[in-house]
Amino acid sequence: MTDSAFAVVRAGALTTVQDLGRAGHAHLGVPRSGALDEPALRLANRLVGNPEGAAALETTLTGCAVRLRRAATVAVTGAPCPVTVDGRPAAWGAPVRVPAGALVEAGAATHGVRAYVAFDGGVEAERVLGSRSTDVLSGLGPAPLADGAVLRLGAPYGPAPAVDAAPCPGPPRELVLPVVLGPRQDWFTPRALRTLATGGFRVSAASNRIGLRTEGPALERARDGELPSEGMVLGALQVPPDGRPVLFLADHPTTGGYPVVGVVPESHLPAAAQAVPGTALRFAPRHVR
């Protein structure tokens, strides 16, 4: 009853521990990391009575399954998926009371990419620089889940709130991302900036927690040469030599030498993180206010 461990029965394609990340260390080369769909993580935590920044599991496309040794309140948010407890259907987007010994499974996402599985008490992995997040770029934080791994839960914070279900926005069928142009839009031809505004892009299957890669038209540079390395922000739209923009997500490198044509505001990144490969993608550039 007091055993706080849980065992990973099915780790899925990529399941990691995520909280709100480790901001404040970019000058040392440490990515911010943290949940890609932050509102979904915060919601899952609220549903089980945790502080919003507690650590939970972030799954990728195929979900995951864990066996709990203590009774727990569990909530699954983010990408909609079938939730089962010992094989019986349970609610998605709502707190579910699970007995000790039960197998909790978040199935494959019906749409969207990343589901968040929160437990009351949170996932109790070791903190690195203040965060329990797995950073896939630099390897900080707990390792991605593997079948048979055993993790621990923290002590519950208190009673979960009385709630039946919470509304969650569904992932979009088409992704439209505003882009604030700069700081290096002058590295691109006027035609490239028109292409950015009018081109039909798609989300590439090569996307990951570091960046959303695009397929579609290439952006043509107005100048050759290398940009001396400079600091990179979350949401930067960096254009490598092949001309295909890469949208930087939570595990992005902190500095880079390819020009950033513009920046997608943070409030639009959760939708980007939920866009499955092949999703139609358009950009809506605007000049900085």
Partner 1 sequence: MTGPDGTARVRGLPVGDRALLLEVDTGEAAQALHAELLRRAGAGTLPAVREIVPAARTVLLDGVADPRRLAAEVARWEIPPLTGGDGDTVEVPVRYDGPDLADVAELWGVAPQEVARIHSGTEFRVAFCGFAPGFCYLTGLPDHRHVPRRATPRTRVPAGSVALAGPYTGVYPRSSPGGWQLIGTTDAVLWDTARDPAALLSPGTRVRFVPERTAGAARTPHAGKEASA
What are the residues binding partner 1 (CB under 8 A)?
23-30, 128-129, 138, 140, 180, 182-183, 228-233, 235-236, 253-255, 260, 262-266, 288-289
Residue 139 vs 159, nearer CB to partner 1:
139
Residue 3 vs 230, nearer CB to partner 1:
230
Nearest distance from C-beta of residue 25 to partner 1, angstroms: 8
Longest dimension (CA), the chain: 65
Nearest distance from C-beta of residue 135 to partner 1, angstroms: 9
The total of other beta-carbon atoms located within 10 Å of residue 66's CB is 26
Residue 158 vs 228, nearer CB to partner 1:
228
Q: Using CB atoms within 10 A of its CB, is residue 228 exposed (0-12), middle (13-18) or buried (19+)?
A: exposed
**DSSP reduced 3-state for 45:** helix
Nearest distance from C-beta of residue 266 to partner 1, angstroms: 7
Nearest distance from C-beta of residue 206 to partner 1, angstroms: 19
**DSSP reduced 3-state for 181:** strand
Residue 3 vs 266, nearer CB to partner 1:
266
Cβ neighbors of 35 (< 8 A, separation 6 or more) are 18, 19, 20, 21, 41, 56, 58, 116, 133, 250
Residue 53 vs 95, nearer CB to partner 1:
53
CA–CA dist 28, 159 (Å, integer) = 39
264, two tokens: 């997608």
Cβ neighbors of 151 (< 8 A, separation 6 or more) are 5, 6, 8, 17, 123, 124, 125, 142, 145
β partners of residue 67: 7, 103
Residue 85 vs 236, nearer CB to partner 1:
236
Q: Using CB atoms within 10 A of its CB, is residue 78 exposed (0-12), middle (13-18) or buried (19+)?
A: buried
Nearest distance from C-beta of residue 245 to partner 1, angstroms: 15
Tokens 């902190």 found at: 254
Nearest distance from C-beta of residue 120 to partner 1, angstroms: 28
Residue 73 vs 254, nearer CB to partner 1:
254
**DSSP reduced 3-state for 93:** coil
Nearest distance from C-beta of residue 263 to partner 1, angstroms: 3
